[in-house]
Amino acid sequence: MSREAELAAAFESARPRLIRVAYAVLGSHAEAEDVVSDCWLRMSVADARDPIKDVDAWATTAVARAALDALRSARVRREVYVGPWLPEPIVEAAPSGQNPADRVTLDDKVSFAVLVVLETLTPAERTAWVLHDLFGMPFADIAAVVGRSPAAVRQLAARARAHVNSGAPRVTVGAAEHTATVTTFLHAAVGGDLSALVEALDPDVILTSDGGGQVSAARKPVCGADRVARFLRGVATKISPNERLQILSVNGEPGLGIFAGEELTAVISLTISDNRIMRIDLIRAPGKLPHLS
């Protein structure tokens, strides 16, 4: 096997993990794929100068550094984004046959709710938390990515961990319970039953809608069970006969999709605690709606 083929094989083996790293840092799967593709070009050039001994380690560091740079640039763009900015969801209509170990890394730890909380961190805090808490990278290696000392990186990760623990659900909901709550919510929304909707929601529920300035969406979060239920009932009444609501996997957890024919027009992520929905994220921005895998 030629050196180029050997390098390409090693990189392709590492690619799924590299995309998970970049996605967790950026909150955009499309941008993550771009970062990883650029990394391959840089790697082939670097290897020609000095053969790379550990492809996975080299590529992880390179991807993390490039994702951090991309996140800093993206933060500027998101400041002028029309309405709230939500991460790009990973959506599946059914299990894809992905390796269970990979699903634990991506789905169970990088839920949509966690991605939303990560948006409140600084780029350096987010990168430190992702690399250390999700992917187990030593602080000394992370220091080379973010340009800080290992001690400073440890503090970044600690601050980020505190934010994530306070902002994300503390109790993991089982798949059966999550699905049952989503199903109850779906029936109440489709049926237009306001009292049933309110009952399915946490009293302090927050609904955030992302249309990207391209489609209709609430410009500010909607708060409180009664206001959110009325907002959702209004959305449900606008669903046309050729549209349907369907349960989907959103970042590994049950959520909802709105389809017009075969086209996915909205994704709804539901964060659940104590059998009630505490957060609803409605993604309608066309550029964030994937073709289902």
Express each pLDDT in 187-226 by its tens digit. Answer: 888 887 889 899 999 999 999 999 988 888 888 999 999 9
Q: How far is CA 109 from the centre of its chain?
A: 10
pLDDT digits (tens, 9 = 90+) for 106-148: 444 588 999 999 999 999 999 999 999 999 999 999 999 999 9
Cα(184)–Cα(207) distance, integer angstroms: 17
Query: How many Å apart are CA 167 and CA 23, to the nearest integer?
Result: 19
Rounded to 5 degrees, what angle do the CA atoms 10, 14, 15 make? Answer: 115
Strand partners, 201: 277
pLDDT tens digits, the chain, 293 residues: what are they?
788 888 899 999 999 999 999 999 999 999 999 999 999 999 988 988 999 999 999 999 999 999 999 999 988 787 778 889 999 999 987 544 544 444 434 444 588 999 999 999 999 999 999 999 999 999 999 999 999 999 999 999 999 999 998 887 766 677 788 888 999 998 888 887 889 899 999 999 999 999 988 888 888 999 999 999 999 988 888 888 888 888 999 998 899 999 998 899 999 999 998 889 999 999 999 999 976 64
Global pTM?
Answer: 0.87
